[in-house]
């Protein structure tokens, strides 16, 4: 069987069908990235199917869905067809039945492995390379590595075309802080530092693990200048707006890191901890690639520490340096072609 001939218009990637496969490990991260990508493609005219093993979080993450994104359960029973573009997100293994259909006609689909975001040097070396499938039901096919990243040699970052331009807010009164985290060892010292700042602090605590981590601190010593607000689960648009309107953001994982970068506000990223310590190299590469100043480095090392550590200072001059860096970094990254457009361009070259 061979692929049917297509007109030039029909061969454009956005005129093709896209399948995105996602296994949920952290439903705020992996699923969040895949939904943003599916929505971004759909808003440019693509028909997208998102295959996911646990779509429960989409009920609050994307309550309205999208008319051109179909969410389907995974694992599959017996798929009837394959898409012209197939994205295997974050190294998830496609179902054997789907791989067999790809293997039946290796030229019919462009198959990409969308990798995790990293600033490490291997990303630029590996981005765009082929990975021939030498055995199994998809034998004879080729997968292509697609790496998001922070430099021109990578696949870029997910970004909306109407991203707002942030404005600096010197010495905000009161200071508004968002908290989206795992269970950082130094959570209490951070809260105590917030309470010791000269201005009052409003802390917005996201639903799930962040609220559970704060609750586990009880009884908490008096934090007189700190007002806490427990938030409900919220759609992605509301989460993005929260980061844009807060003065200081504590974020975790991959999806919210990118959103914090686009917010253009001072932020601290809690990287997903790995048992072998590989996350430290990933964190160091991120800070190096984006030329993070000393205050940003100190707070990232403190927030990601695996044992108690002294809380870094935060003077008025530190805050100004941090704000300037956040704005400059956002402006620098906006010069890149965004990830969705790079994916579309990449597929156009491979078909």
* Distance, CA of 351 to CA of 331 (rounded, Å): 33
Other CB atoms within 10 A of residue 76 CB: 15
Other CB atoms within 10 A of residue 60 CB: 14
Token pair for residue 188? Answer: 């209490």
Predicted pLDDT of residue 223: 79
Other CB atoms within 10 A of residue 206 CB: 23
Residue pair 177/203 in contact by the 8 Å Cβ criterion: yes
Among residues 84, 88, 120, 254, which one is catalytic? 254
How many distinct helices (H) and strands (E) make up the chain? Answer: 13, 12
Predicted pLDDT of residue 27: 66
Identify any residues that bridge with 227 across adjacent strands, giving them in sequence order. 202
Domains in the chain, CATH or no CATH each = 8-158+336-350 (3.40.50), 175-333 (3.40.50)
* Distance, CA of 107 to CA of 167 (rounded, Å): 48
Ranges in the chain, pLDDT < 70? 1-10, 27, 78, 168-172, 219-222
pTM over 0.85: yes
Tokens 């492995």 belong to 113
Q: Is 254 one of the catalytic residues?
A: yes
Kind of pairing between the strands at 47-52 and 69-73: parallel
* Distance, CA of 27 to CA of 108 (rounded, Å): 31
Q: Is 30 one of the catalytic residues?
A: yes
pLDDT digits (tens, 9 = 90+) for 17-28: 999 999 998 768
Backbone angles phi, psi at 182, to 5 degrees: -85, -120
Tokens 């968002």 belong to 178
Burial class of residue 304 in the structure, from the number of CB atoms within 10 Å of its CB (0-12 exposed, 13-18 middle, 19+ buried): buried
Predicted pLDDT of residue 8: 47
Predicted pLDDT of residue 30: 93
Predicted pLDDT of residue 221: 63
Spatial strand order in the sheet of 226-230: 226-230, 201-205, 175-179, 248-252, 267-270
* Distance, CA of 227 to CA of 202 (rounded, Å): 5
Among residues 19, 30, 84, 240, which one is catalytic? 30
Predicted pLDDT of residue 219: 67
* Distance, CA of 178 to CA of 26 (rounded, Å): 19
Kind of pairing between the strands at 69-73 and 226-230: unpaired
Predicted pLDDT of residue 216: 93
What is the SS3 assignment for 81?
coil
């Amino acid at each position: 069987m061979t692929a049917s001939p297509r007109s030039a218009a029909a061969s454009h990637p956005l005129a093709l069908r896209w399948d995105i496969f996602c296994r949920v490990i952290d439903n705020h991260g992996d699923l969040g990235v895949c939904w943003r990508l599916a929505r971004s493609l759909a808003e440019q005219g693509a028909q997208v199917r998102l295959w996911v093993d646990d779509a429960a979080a989409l009920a609050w993450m994307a309550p309205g869905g999208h008319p051109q994104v179909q969410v389907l359960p995974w694992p599959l029973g017996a798929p009837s067809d394959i898409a012209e573009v197939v994205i295997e997100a974050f190294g998830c293994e496609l179902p054997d039945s789907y791989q067999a259909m790809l293997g039946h006609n290796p030229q019919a689909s462009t198959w990409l492995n969308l990798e995790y975001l990293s600033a490490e040097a291997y990303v630029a070396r590996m981005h765009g390379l082929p990975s021939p499938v030498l055995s199994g039901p998809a034998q004879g096919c080729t997968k292509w590595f697609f790496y998001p990243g922070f430099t021109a040699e990578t696949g870029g970052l997910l970004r909306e075309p109407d991203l707002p331009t942030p404005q600096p807010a010197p010495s905000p009164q009161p200071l508004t802080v968002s908290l989206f985290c795992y269970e950082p060892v130094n959570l209490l010292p951070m809260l105590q530092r917030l309470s010791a700042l000269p201005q009052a602090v409003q802390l917005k605590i996201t639903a799930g693990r962040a609220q559970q981590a704060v609750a586990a601190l009880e009884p908490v010593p008096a934090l007189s200048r700190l007002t806490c607000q427990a938030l409900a689960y919220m759609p992605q648009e509301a989460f993005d707006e929260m980061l844009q309107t807060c003065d200081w953001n504590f974020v975790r994982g991959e999806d919210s890191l990118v959103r914090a970068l686009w917010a253009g506000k001072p932020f601290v990223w809690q990287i997903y901890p790995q048992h072998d310590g590989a996350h430290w190299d990933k964190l160091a590469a991120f800070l190096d690639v984006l030329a993070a100043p000393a205050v940003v480095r100190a707070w990232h090392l403190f927030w990601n520490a695996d044992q108690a550590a002294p809380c870094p200072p935060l003077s008025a001059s530190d805050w100004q340096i941090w704000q300037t860096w956040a704005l400059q970094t956002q402006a620098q990254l906006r010069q890149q072609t965004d990830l969705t457009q790079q994916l579309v361009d990449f597929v156009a070259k491979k078909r």
